[in-house]
Structure 1
Amino acid sequence: MKKLLLVISVSLGISVTSQETKTDAPAADTIKAWSVQGQNTLMLNQAAFSNWVGGGANNVGWLAGANYNLTYEKGKDLWENIIVLGYGQNNTKGIGTRKTQDVLNLSTNYGREFAKNWYFSVGASLLTQFAAGYDDGNNPEAAKISNFMAPGYVNVGAGVTYRPNDNFTMTLRPANARWTFVLDEDLQKAGTYGLKNDGDSSLFQFGFLGTAIYKVKLMENINLTNTASVFSNYLDHPERLVLAYGAVLNMKINKYISSNITLDLLYDHNQIKRTQLKQTLGVGLAYNIDNGVKRSSKKDNQSWLK
């Protein structure tokens, strides 16, 4: 009987010890390799006049957009994907419908870390628009000056990426192939977007491409995202730099309403020999997505998006 009690006691002790070991075991690492950050927006504007001696024309407009950043980060691997979509129109009485925003921008960049915050990287990007654009304020009765993939810019290259945190990323590609596509036959004329001959549908360039993204939290619920790029064509007039800068000022009013101000500057000798400027302002609905954000040391500053 004593032997039986001894065996039962030992068994119970082992069981309790096993349970305590399981309870005290450290929780599994919940850090995710993928992070998805994005914002969906719908901006509306409207003005109405009746017997208004100051004058004015009734108008209504809208602008919809999506901006996503999908990042995979695990070990020495870094893979960043950016999706920017935007389209908007304004209808003014007596004038008609005009396009106010039109952009389709996709990019991907994979890097392998070789030093702290530095990565050997390869990447590609596509930049174009959804619909036709016209001279004279996008008047459909005026001359057509652009369309989907006219122009369309495709970049493929290799270089290095510097990314100390989520707020700053810089990529330098000393070897970058750049194709300019003009797939609208009405625009395939010599000199248009750099085309060499009538009927050409593309232009090939090879050179240096540098890009950077810098995000700043100006104050609570007010964030500024800056993007910049520079391209130099080794094959023809490398001094004619293609320069681009974009800024998005997001002012969050509450969880679902925000105000956005955008500014875009562009100089491209093959388009027009002048600096181009585009600015928009809108107030409307905004829905943010912040899913799977990593808690590693490289993900220590996410406040700009919250």
Structure 2
Amino acid sequence: MKKNLLIMLLSSFVISMHAQDATVKNLKADAAKEIKKDAADTAVKTWKTGGLFNLNVNQGTLSNWAAGGDKSTFSLTSFLNLYAFYKKGKHSWDNNLDLAYGMVNTTSLGQRKADDRIDLLSKYGYEVAPKWYLSGLVNLRTQFADGFAYPAEDGKVKTSGFFAPAYLLASIGMDFKPNDNFSLFISPITSRWVIVNDDSLSSAGAFGVTPGKKSVNEIGAYLSVNYFKNISTNATYKTRLDLFSNYKHEPQNIDIFWTNVLAVKVTKFINMNLNVDMIYDNDVKTVNKDGTSGGPKLQLKELMGIGLAYKF
């Protein structure tokens, strides 16, 4: 009897161990299986949005300073960049907005502008070949406030204002995008409107409009190059070069707009920035020191500063 009971207990133990071993093997096999993600978990985002805000402030005061200089100086420059990029399949849509404004105030000169720009660009493209897109582009450039030249004897002379000028450009062409950092847009057919919404400037025929008219339309060829480079973990460089040739009036005189931004990150919220802009437009007349027209010249603007920076 005892022998039979012992045999039954041993049999039950062996069966139990075998069942546990099979269960452990099944659990290991399940754990080794690759977990499959839903399509939503692996989907690539179609929109990429963000922006950058910079604010630079400088102040200085002199009192009984033997070396000389202005008694008081104050300057403020600000810059805001917003972007929204769309990419899905063969479709791409790039949107970019740059807003800049700056002023400087000194005891001897008073308040003057240091920077002033509104630049909105939207470009849609459909990929027709690897890295080549059939694209349409719209660009608007103007400024916020009145601008003045300061001849030595005549005080100040108004030279520009809000929508005086404004450049509205619509273009169809091919866009070459070999990577995310470079694009080359070429268009043989581009329409550009030069708007001068100021009575005094339009009556003088400023910016190429017929005296008394507030706009002029130009048809020509257009080229735009955009490039972005991470120079290091803390330094970036961004540039854009636009060229336009007016078929209807002196096509050999090519309008140039070239903007460059070098940004160096000092801390999380402090950046050093260098901005260099160059413009040449044969229809824009400069003002000499004696107040007379100096004809078209290369326009150059350079700003460097250290200030607050917030990226989002």
TM range (shorter): 0.7 to 0.9
Is the 8 Å Cα contact of residues 155 and 176 (structure 1) preserved in structure 2?
yes
Is the 8 Å Cα contact of residues 79 and 98 (structure 2) preserved in structure 1?
yes
Q: Note if 1:255 corresponds to 2:268.
A: yes
Point out where structure 2 has 5 or more consecutive residues left out of the alignment: 1-26, 286-295
Is the 8 Å Cα contact of residues 205 and 212 (structure 2) preserved in structure 1?
no
Runs of 4+ off more than 6 Å = 19-23
Instruction: Compare relative contact order (CA 8 Å, sep 6+) and give the higher one, 1 or 2.
Output: 1
Is the 8 Å Cα contact of residues 78 and 110 (structure 1) preserved in structure 2?
yes
Q: Deviations over 1:29-61 (max 9, x none)?
A: 142100013211111111111221111111111
Max radius of gyration: which structure? 2
* 2:188 alignment partner, one of 169, 174, 187: 174
User: How many Å separate the matches in 2 of 1:51 and 1:143?
Assistant: 34
Q: Note if 1:130 corresponds to 2:144.
A: yes
User: How many Å separate the matches in 1 of 2:298 and 2:305?
Assistant: 24
Query: What's the CA shift for 1:218?
Result: 2.5
Secondary structure of the 2:133 match is strand
Is the 8 Å Cα contact of residues 47 and 84 (structure 2) preserved in structure 1?
yes
Is the 8 Å Cα contact of residues 191 and 270 (structure 1) preserved in structure 2?
no
Tell me the TM-score normalized by structure 1: 0.84
Select between 144-153 and 67-76 the one with higher mean Cα deviation: 67-76
* 1:68 alignment partner, one of 82, 96, 113: 82
User: How many Å separate the matches in 1 of 2:245 and 2:267?
Assistant: 43
Q: Deviations over 1:163-193 (max 9, x none)?
A: 1222111111111100000001111135410
* 2:310 alignment partner, one of 275, 287, 295: 287
Query: What's the CA shift for 1:70?
Result: 1.2
Match of 2:117 in 1: 103
Point out where structure 1 has 5 or more consecutive residues left out of the alignment: 1-15, 290-306
Q: Deviations over 1:245-289 (max 9, x none)?
A: 111110110111001111011110000311110000111100112
Secondary structure of the 1:123 match is strand
Letter in 2 for 1:159: G
Match of 1:214 in 2: 227
Letter in 2 for 1:25: K
Letter in 2 for 1:143: V
Match of 2:35 in 1: 24
User: How many Å separate the matches in 2 of 1:43 and 1:23?
Assistant: 53
Secondary structure of the 2:212 match is coil
**Aligned residues with identical type, % of pairs:** 33
Select between 162-171 and 105-114 the one with higher mean Cα deviation: 162-171
Is the 8 Å Cα contact of residues 62 and 69 (structure 2) preserved in structure 1?
yes
User: How many Å separate the matches in 2 of 1:243 and 1:91?
Assistant: 30
User: How many Å separate the matches in 1 of 2:205 and 2:199?
Assistant: 14
User: How many Å separate the matches in 2 of 1:129 and 1:279?
Assistant: 17
> RMSD of the TM alignment (CA)?
2.2
Count, aligned residues: 271
